[in-house]
Structure 1
Amino acid sequence: MSITLRKLAVFTKVAETGQATKSGELLLMSQPAISMALKELEENAGGQLFIRQGRRLILNDRGRLLLEPAQEILRRVARFENLLAESERQPRGLLRIGASTTIGNYLLPSLIARYSCLYTDAKASLQVGNTHQIEVSLDRGDIDLGLIEGPSHAPLLKAIPWRNDELVVIAGREHPITKINSVTADMLEKANWIMREPGSGTREVFEAALAEFGGSINIDLELGHTEAIKKAVEAGLGISCLSRLAVQRELENGWLVEISTHLNLTRSLTILLRDDGYRTKLLQSFLDMLLLNEVQGSECASRKAIQK
C-alpha cells in the first residue's frame, strides 16, 4: 500500500473544498494530478471515498471515517517539520495563533508585526473566532496557541492570565439613555440590546456582571462581528457592551457614548496552551513576548535599522 503525504493532503483539501479544481489551485497542483491522487488513494482504500455530484465531491461514510486520522497525520508532520526547522539561535517556522474577536482584531496585529520584525525567519497565521471556537481549535490541534476574553471552559487546556480588559456599555449619541445621569439595572433590562452570539467571551462576561444584580437583558439583535455591532449602535438600533479596546476611537470622536453603570465589567484576557509538556522555540518565543510585554515597537525598528 502506497499512501503518501501528498495523497493525504489532496484528500483533506478536496474534503474541505468539495472541488478538485479549487483544491489544485490551493495545493499548486493540476486538476489531472488531483484526480490521479484521489483515484490512487481510493484504490488503496478499496473503494470510493467521495460521492460525485456534478463537479462537487462530497465525502461518503468511509471518507468521513478516514478524514480525521488523515488530518491528524498532517498536523503531526507539520509539527515535526517545525521542529526540524528550528535554529539554535532563532525560532523558525509557522506559528498558528487563534484569538477571540477583540484580541484578534485590536491587539494581536501589532504584536504579530512586532514578532515578525524580531524574528525574521518566523511567520504567524491568525485565526479569529469566538472563545468557544478558539478552545475547540486548540484542543483539536488546528492552532498552537489561543488567546481568549474571559474564563476558559476547556479543562484540558492550560490557561495563563495575560492582561486585564474593561468592557463599556455604549449607545449612539442621539439615544435617549445618554441623557440620563444615573442608569439603573431596571433601565438596562428594558433597553434594546445588540450583542455578540452565544460563545462570545464579551457576552459571557457582561451577562455574568448583570446577573450579580439579579438582572437580565432583552437581546433584539445578535451579530457575530464587533464592527457590525458598533455601526448598529451608532445608527440608534439599540445599546451594547463591548471592550474599550474596540470602541476607543468611536468614543474619542463622539460617534458613540459611554453609559455609566454600576456593573463590574473588568475581565482577564487569557492565554491558552495545550498542556502536553513541550513547547517549541517558535511557540516559547512568542509566549515570552506576550508575558514580558517589554519589547516595544521602537526597539524593533531600531534593530531593523542596525541590521541594514
Structure 2
Amino acid sequence: MNERDWQILHTVFETRSVTGAAEKLFTSQPALSYRLKRLEEHFGVCLFERDGRKLNFTQEGEHLVDHARRMLREDLRMREELTRMQQHPHGEIRLGVSSNYAAYRLPRLLAAFQARHGGASFSLVSGLSHDLFVQLQREEIHLALVRDSFNWKERKFIVDEDPFYVFSREAIDFDDLPRLPQIALDTSTFQNRLVADWWNARFSEPPRIAMRVDKIEACMAMVRHGLGYTIVSSIALQEADRLFRFPIVQADGQQLTNKTWLLYRTQSERLPLVEKLIDMLKRRMA
C-alpha cells in the first residue's frame, strides 16, 4: 500500500461518499472504487456498508482509517524534516483558520508574508474553530487561528482582539434590545457564549431572535435592510457601511472582545517557514 491509498481511505471516510471523495481527489469514481476494492482484497476485510448514498464504515474499516492517518502524518513529518535539513526557506505551511478571520484578516497577512518569503506555499482550510482544533490535534495542520484557546497545553498566544458592537440601521436604546428583532450570527460556540453571558448579565428577558444566519455577510445585509439588529465583533466593520454601531460594555466597564488565538505544537517551531510566520503573528500584539 502507498501514500495514495491512505489518502483515498482518509478522504472517503471524511466525505462518507465515493463520489465526493473522487471530486476532492480529482479522480474518477470507477478508479476510486477499484482502489477501494483492492484495499479490501489486500486486507481481507469489508471497509464499509452502504446506507443509501451514505457509507457506514465497519469496525475494521475505521481501524484502517486510523492507520491511514498515522501513515499520512509520518509522511508529512518526514517531508518536513527533509525540508528543515536542507536549511532553505521553502516548503508548505498548513493552516487552519476560522472562517471570518480567513475572509477579513488573513489575505493581507499572507500577502505580506509571501512578499518577504517568496518560497512559501500554503495549504489552507477554513471553518468552525472546533473542527480546526480537532485537525490540529490530529497533526493535520501546523497552525490553527481560532476563536478559543480550548485549554490547549502546547504553544498558544492571542493574535487579534476585536471588540463587540451592536449594529443597527437606526439609532436604538439598549434597554429596548429585548423587544427588537435580532439577527443572530451562529458561527462560533465560544463567541455565542460570550455574547450570551453579557446578555444574561444585562437583561432578564431573552433576545427576540428574528432569524439565524451562519455568514457574517448575510447577517449584515439583513441589518442594512432594516430586518433587525445584530451583535458581532468589529471584524465586520467593512460590512457596516452607513450602520449605527454601539459598543458592548460589561459590568466592570471593559468592552467585550472576541479574541483570535494561534495554537500550534512545539515541534512546528523547528520548521523554518512556520517559525517565521509565528514570529510575524507574534509581532501583531507586541
Question: What does 1:56-205 correspond to in 2, within 5 Å?
Answer: 58-86=56-84, 87-90=86-89, 92-149=90-147, 151-172=148-169, 175=170, 178=171, 180=172, 183-184=173-174, 186-197=175-186, 199-205=188-194
Q: Distance in 1 between matches of 2:9 and 2:122?
A: 25
Distance verdict in 2 for CA 1:210–1:48, change over 3 Å = same
Q: Distance in 2 between matches of 1:241 and 1:84?
A: 47
Which stretches in structure 2 are left out of the alignment for 5+ residues? Answer: none
3-state SS of 1:120 partner: coil
* 1:288 partnered with 2:283: no
Moved more, 130-139 or 105-114: 130-139
Q: Distance in 2 between matches of 1:25 and 1:134?
A: 22
Match of 2:234 among 244, 251, 256: 244
Question: What does 1:26-65 correspond to in 2, within 5 Å?
Answer: 26-27=24-25, 33-51=31-49, 58-65=56-63
Q: Deviations over 1:26-58 (max 9, x none)?
A: 445565653443233212221221335788765
3-state SS of 1:238 partner: coil
Q: Distance in 2 between matches of 1:94 and 1:159?
A: 21
Q: Distance in 2 between matches of 1:27 and 1:129?
A: 20
Q: Distance in 2 between matches of 1:89 and 1:267?
A: 37
3-state SS of 1:34 partner: helix
- 1:226 shift after superposition: 0.8
Which stretches in structure 1 are left out of the alignment for 5+ residues? Answer: 295-308
- 1:260 shift after superposition: 5.1
**Preserved contact between residue 156 and residue 274 of structure 1 (Cα < 8 Å):** no
**Preserved contact between residue 156 and residue 275 of structure 1 (Cα < 8 Å):** no
- Paired residue type of 2:273: L
Question: Scaled by the length of structure 2, what TM-score is found?
Answer: 0.82
- Paired residue type of 1:206: V
Percent identity, aligned pairs only, is 28
* 1:221 partnered with 2:211: yes
Would you say how many aligned residue pairs link Structure 1 and Structure 2? 279
Q: CA RMSD in A?
A: 3.0
